[in-house]
Amino acid sequence: MPSSPFSFISDAVLRSNIEEVFEHIARLLEIVDNPHYSSEAKSAFCKSIIIHTGSVIEALLYTLLDYRYSDDEIKEYYASWQLKPFHQLHMLNSKHQVVAGQYKLVPSRTGKTKLNLSQVCDFLKVKEDIDDDFHKKVTKVRNLRNEQHLATQKKLKTYTHKEVEEVFKIAREIKEFVRNELQ
């Protein structure tokens, strides 16, 4: 059996999921390159490729985050100050009240498994695991992926091999970066 291009990922389930999506992307690429499909169909397949490649990028960055940070560190980072306990002293009107209490830092209920690509990327940037340039590249992929929400579009966007190649280039950089960081 050939060696996996994602052998540096220690979580066997995650590695298997990435490999399966990677194979799916390869099959979709065959369709995009096939001259028998219409440009509309090819655009739809390009959208799928971008979505799946974004998921692989998210998984790779998550692997780095998971390796370096505990769930408690993530919950602490996303903690918020809350007035607990508090007592209403006086109601001024329906929008204002006077209260007494104590502010406490309450850890977030959201742990690392609930983070999305934006949060993973932002966290790694704040912790200086990735630089601003890297963050911008991931944001570009995230924006391409998010542009596909139909409710926010005035006109259906067409995707081509150009966007797919851009996303692949960024994905390759991320893969090599994560591989180097984990070794």
Report pLDDT digits (tens) over 59-81.
999 999 999 999 999 999 999 99
What's the total number of domains in the chain?
1
Tokens of 122: 């932002």
Residue 42 belongs to a domain with what CATH number?
A: 1.20.120
pLDDT tens by residue, 116-145: 999 999 999 999 999 999 999 999 999 999
Domain presence at residue 96: no
Q: What band does 18 get if pLDDT is binned at 50, 70 and 90? A: very high
- Statement: residue 1 has pLDDT above 60: no
Residue 48 lies in a domain: yes
Mean pLDDT of 98-127: 92
Question: Which residue segment(s) compose the domain that 144 sits in?
Answer: 12-71+116-182
Closest-CA residue to 44 (of 161, 159, 168): 159
Residue 108: inside a domain = no
CA 173, CA 159: separation in Å to the nearest integer? 22
Q: Is residue 85 part of a domain?
A: no
The torsion of the CA quartet 19, 150, 33, 39, rounded to 10 degrees, works out to 170
80 domain residue, yes or no: no
Contact 179, 171 (CB under 8 A): no
Residue 61: phi and psi, rounded to 5, are -70, -35
Choice between 65 and 3, residue whose per-residue pLDDT is larger: 65
The stretch 23-40 carries a mean pLDDT of 91
**What tokens does 2 get?**
């050939």
Mean of pLDDT values over 142-155: 84
Region 160-176: mean pLDDT is 95
Q: Taking residues 101-111, what's their average pLDDT? A: 88
Q: In this structure, is residue 100 part of a structural domain?
A: no
Residue 85: pLDDT band by 50, 70, 90 thresholds?
confident
